[in-house]
Amino acid sequence: MTEIKTVAVAGAGTMGAGIAIVAARAGFDTIVFDVSDDNLEQSRVQTEKFFARSVERGKLDPQDVDQILARFTRTSDLKDLASADIVIEAVFEELSVKQDLFGRLNDICSASTIFASNTSTISITEIAAGSGRDPQVVGMHFCLPAQLMKLVEMSPGMNTDPAMFTKAWEFCEALGQIPVKTQDSPGFILNYFLVPYNNDVIRLIEAGVAAPADIDAAIKTGMGYKMGPCELLDLIGLDTQVLLCDAFYRVTHDPRATVPPLLRRMVAAGRLGRKSGRGFFEYEGGAMFGA
């Protein structure tokens, strides 16, 4: 039984919107923060489309959706997160951005509020060092798309209070997610494998070995994956893959983690994946994955 009642999600992008859906769907009052009103509005539209699709598929009743949507609050004022029992950040994969966010929230939130980072590559200990409350910072790495995937990688920093980690773990279970414990190590479990793997795929395309559709078909058919790597990259966002690579390479110096030239060219061309309508594949509309 978790003591947490109110959840704040900082960042209304693809991942943040998905985490907010998970929290509200599980019965928590959910505050979504973003500095951009456009991002907040887009997340609202995508969230409503997602739940409308859930009704169409018979997974939820309309009255259930009304109750879930009533739990959402959206804001561009960081002070509105003061009532949160836990804040989950899902902002840019840059250490300084995450430290600055938690540092400002340290002066706003209750002394008992847990700060959780959705980082997939950056050290929890380093993020906590800029928070002003090292013992209450934990790693909670959700998987894309968060509203459909159950796995959460839970990571304590060097100074994380074990009691706070247990409290965050129990909250994760109350969300209906499946937590696994990892150490504060680069890439944790998934991205230790995934970042270099995705780069290898991009290099195959750049070398002309196979087209994105053929690579995805081979991986899904031959290995049983539900989503091909190019589909996944488009969902993650190719600009996000660049940030992941840069962060992962800084701490590992793994040559496979360096950004492939094709990836940088695609980002420069505005081909970011689903969110821009074009990446390795083309997309219509801005529907959230699974909607």
Query: Which residues are known catalytic residues?
Result: 120, 141, 153, 191
Q: How many CB atoms lie within 10 A of CB 258?
A: 15
Pairing status of strand 137-142 against strand 151-156: antiparallel
187: left (phi over 0), alpha (psi -120 to 50) or beta: left
DSSP string covering 252-268: H--GGGSPPHHHHHHHH
- Residue 122 in tokens: 């950056």
110-134 core/surface letters (b: 16 or more CB in 10 A; e: else): eeebbbbbbbbbbbbbbbbbbbbbb
Cβ neighbours of residue 230 closer than 8 Å, sequence gap 6 or more:
201, 205, 212, 213, 215, 216, 279, 280, 281
- Residue 174 in tokens: 């109350």
Integer Cα distance of 164 and 261 in angstroms:
42
12 close to 118: Cβ distance less than 8 angstroms: no
Integer Cα distance of 112 and 126 in angstroms:
20
**67 SS3 class:** helix
DSSP string covering 216-247: HHHHHHHH--SS-HHHHHHHH-HHHHHHHHHH
